[in-house]
Amino acid sequence: MQKAWVYEEYGPKEVLKLGEIPIPTTLEDDQLLVQVRAAALNTIDSKRRQLAIFPSGLPAVPGCDMAGVVVGKGSRVAKLEVGDQVYGNIQNFNEPEKLKKLGTLAEYVAVEEQHVALKPSQLSFEEAASLPLALQTAIEGFKNAKFKEGDSVFVVGGAGGVGTLVVQLAKQHFGAFKVVATCSTSKVEFVKSLGADMVVDYTTTKYQDIEEKFDFVYDTIGDSKNSIVVAKEEAPVVDITWPPSNPKVIYSSLTGRGESLEKLKSCLESGKIKAMIDPSGPYHFKDVISAFGHLETGRARGKVVVTSFPLFG
């Protein structure tokens, strides 16, 4: 048996209970058994628990993102070995009927090899766990918008888990000419430090007051019904929230494959792209309810990360 956070009914964070579930003992041919060292929380974890999107069936363990050590492998696993340190998003939201009930807030998780990648050696387990879903989401948005080097980009929500990576990717990977991002007053300097050329304080400035128009608008918080006004005519506007807040925008989903993480390995190892963990954490495994409480305020800076899994204190 293993320790895990489980909910047996849908509802607020208080339905989560720390309990025990069986360790996965029968792996599919393409699966790994990973001993989890750190995990990150995502808004979609809360929405699934609240029965707002992609119900998982009960009982369920929340969590998509993790970093850990391979302790078992199926017969067709080809690239990874027992003992490898890996990270990844274990879910594929393009196939909701196949979403796992047992997520990453557990000591062990079974995951397909294609969903994970070797952890960059310079990253801690906590830093690595903060990246997969947000990084894959950020990349997919640029692809869906057919973003071109030299384009300008306006990022709605530049201080959040996805937004911090969108700003960095725009400058360090996709070759944006100009990056402008929104955030609240207290986070302006933080977002500037990520590489934004200009930061808009949304508490004092309305979209309608911004005269410049952009080649691409990347909305990470679901405000595209308003933010669309800063897009050039015919410019793509991507909204990563579900349902999209504007029928005219592109909704960006993701596959969750580990290959997108592998392609950015050099950027992560060189420090060009940095993991951003909310300064309130990392949270101890026993404090998962508090971690969800902070995530659900909508005021997290970067990713909310859980560490100190029972096996490791």
Annotated domain spans of the chain: 2-131+275-312, 134-251
Rounded Cα distance between 95 and 86, Å, is 23
Rounded Cα distance between 41 and 313, Å, is 19
The CATH number of 2-131+275-312, from 3.50.50.60, 3.40.440.10, 3.20.20.70, 3.90.180.10, is 3.90.180.10
pLDDT of 70 reads 98
Q: Among candidates 279, 56, 111, 110, which has minimal Cα distance to 186? A: 279
pLDDT of 98 reads 83
pLDDT of 191 reads 98
pLDDT of 312 reads 76
Rounded Cα distance between 80 and 73, Å, is 8
Rounded Cα distance between 276 and 194, Å, is 10
What class, spelled out in words, does domain 134-251 have in CATH?
alpha beta
Secondary structure letter of residue 232 according to DSSP: P
Rounded Cα distance between 155 and 178, Å, is 11
Amino acid code (one letter) for 297: T
pLDDT of 255 reads 63
Phi and psi, residue 225, nearest 5°: -65, -25
pLDDT of 244 reads 73
23, 180, 222 from 237: Cα distances, Å: 43, 14, 11
Q: Among candidates 49, 39, 65, which has minimal Cα distance to 17? A: 49
| β-bridge pairing 216-219 and 152-156 | parallel
pLDDT of 246 reads 80
**CATH topology match: 2-131+275-312 vs 134-251:** no
Q: What contacts 211, CB < 8 A, 6 or more positions away? A: none
pLDDT by 10-residue block (mean), the chain, 313 residues? 97 97 95 98 95 86 98 97 98 86 97 96 97 95 95 98 98 96 97 98 97 97 93 94 80 77 93 96 97 96 95 73
Rounded Cα distance between 223 and 67, Å, is 31
